[in-house]
Structure 1
Amino acid sequence: MIDGVSRPTLLLVHGAWHGGWCWEKLASVLHADGWRTRAVDLPSAGGRAGVQDDAQVVLGELERIEGPVVVVAHSYGGIPVSQAVAQAGNVSQIVYLAAYQLDVGESLLGFHGAPVSPGPRDVEAVPDDPVGLFYGDVPRSEAEQAAARLVPQSTQSFRDALTRAGWHTIPSTYIVCEDDRALPVQSQQTLAARSGAVHRIKSSHSPFLSMPGELAALLSEIALASEPGTRRTS
């Protein structure tokens, strides 16, 4: 029987330019349904850290959680999560939410066919029109409040290639956001082909803000179906 004690903890990992704050609305819904959640703040957001630094933060948080964990990675967050979970022993499932499910040797810039050699910038400024890019279906006032909290993102985090990819041995699920303007659906579908299961949600890039109830229900379904300790062989 799965109850409030034996349920896995959900570790929520944000994407570029964001912070752990972006999960607050979703976490509130999940808590009301009896789920335990944790969120991290990746040092690449607002700093100059790379993927390995972000992965160490994720791994450190995993080591502090007792029992099985379902890791939910959004957008860029999928990259350090893939790196970190390969070294963790308590992850029962990875959920890639419109996220970069990259393989060993791949980087975010490389996936998009962009040059990965060092350039003149240390950080990537917050994109123009973040409301339209990230929060197209979020109420305008709430979207503007979220956009005001965005910070520059480390360019290094976009250049760094994975040296490990935990999804080769840990079950993974991909959630495609069908109205996403930040990570095109075609790119998501290419990445989702690497997951063991695929779900679709009709949302912008940020369903944790636009439809937290629907996303929470889907995450609950995925997490309840996960079997702690089950690992695939690559």
Structure 2
Amino acid sequence: MGSSGKPVVVLLQGAFQLPDVYHKFARLIESHGFPVVQPSYPSLAGQDEPDFTKKTLADDVQVVEAAIRKLVEDENKTVVVAMHSYGGLVGAESVPEDLTLKRRKERGLSGGVAYFFYNAAFVMPKGQSVATAVGDSPNHDHWDGRFKMRDPLTTMYHDMPEDEAKLWADKVVAQSNAIKDTVMTRCAYTYVPSTYVVCTEDRAVPAPVQEMFAHTAGSTVKKIDAGHSAMLSRPETVAHLLEEVLACQDVTQ
């Protein structure tokens, strides 16, 4: 665990990837004194369960909101939510306003969600779903209620050494297609301040699209020359940005 003055980072992963893809980044920021919590999504875990293809974004949100609520209400922790790719949707839907640092301070309570840190992450307004906003991407294969990135090696890991990129590409898994149907209802970026890290070499979510997402969220924008999985290919750079942002915002316990 980190020093008492640093917030807990809730790390929310993207689609098609199991938590171990983010362990390198998580261990790095833990070594800098930030405790890390990384919830596991039902829409990715339990692939052999009979109801796997019924798991939606709402199921992922339920798990993440419970984890954040425990940190804030039971442990009075200050929380920063770091989101990558699909995790941007999960995070924005998982934080009710009563769990924010600002609202809890107004009620004389300690702890709360203080900040959002987006990294090549999706942002959508209320009333939209992945199905209505994006539809079926030509980069995806679909079958039996599941979908998966067709060519992760060149789409998500192209800026990494070839052997390392292949290692992670081989670990890509299918996700429940039902996540696409969940309509956004909360959009916490409207009341949680944020920074958005645009990855300029991203082939999965092009930089202009990321900039549009950042505008929707009202985020402060930072840019790095990296592909889609910068927390894996450029972990030190992303960690430095996270620390820099939090220092400027004076986000402490």
Tell me, yes or no, whether TM beats 0.5.
yes
Structure 1 distance, partners of 2:83, 2:8, is: 14
Q: Deviations over 1:77-125 (max 9, x none)?
A: 111111111253421011111111111111223222669xxx985111x
Conserved? CA contact 2:6–2:251, under 8 Å: no
SS of 1:64's equivalent in the other structure is helix
Q: Deviations over 1:23-45 (max 9, x none)?
A: 11111221221221111211112
SS of 2:197's equivalent in the other structure is strand
User: 2:155 is matched with which residue: 133, 156, 178?
Assistant: 133
Q: For structure 1, which runs of at least 5 residues remain unmatched after alignment?
A: 230-234
Aligned residue in 1 for 2:164: 142
Structure 2 distance, partners of 1:41, 1:149, is: 16
Structure 2 distance, partners of 1:170, 1:161, is: 20
Aligned residue in 2 for 1:56: 62
Q: Deviations over 1:37-86 (max 9, x none)?
A: 11121111243311111111111111232311100111111111111112
Instruction: Report deviation, 1:228.
Output: 5.3
SS of 1:204's equivalent in the other structure is coil
User: 1:214 is matched with which residue: 213, 225, 237?
Assistant: 237
Letter in 1 for 2:220: A
Instruction: Report deviation, 1:196.
Output: 2.9
Letter in 1 for 2:133: F
Aligned residue in 1 for 2:186: 164
Aligned residue in 1 for 2:134: 112
Counterparts in 2 of 1:77-96, with a 5 A limit?
77-86=87-96, 88-89=99-100, 90-96=112-118
Q: Deviations over 1:184-207 (max 9, x none)?
A: 111111111122311111100001
Structure 2 distance, partners of 1:145, 1:114, is: 26
Q: Deviations over 1:143-172 (max 9, x none)?
A: 111122211111111222101111111112
User: What is the number of equivalent residue pairs in this alignment?
Assistant: 223
Conserved? CA contact 1:91–1:228, under 8 Å: no
Distance verdict in 2 for CA 1:225–1:150, change over 3 Å = same
Counterparts in 2 of 1:19-30, with a 5 A limit?
19-30=18-29
Structure 1 distance, partners of 2:30, 2:90, is: 25
Q: Who wins on radius of gyration, i.e. which is larger?
A: 2
Percent identical across equivalent pairs? 30
Letter in 2 for 1:171: P
Aligned residue in 1 for 2:83: 73
Aligned residue in 2 for 1:35: 34
CA RMSD of aligned residues (A): 2.1
Conserved? CA contact 1:100–1:108, under 8 Å: no
Conserved? CA contact 1:74–1:99, under 8 Å: yes
Distance verdict in 2 for CA 1:155–1:6, change over 3 Å = same
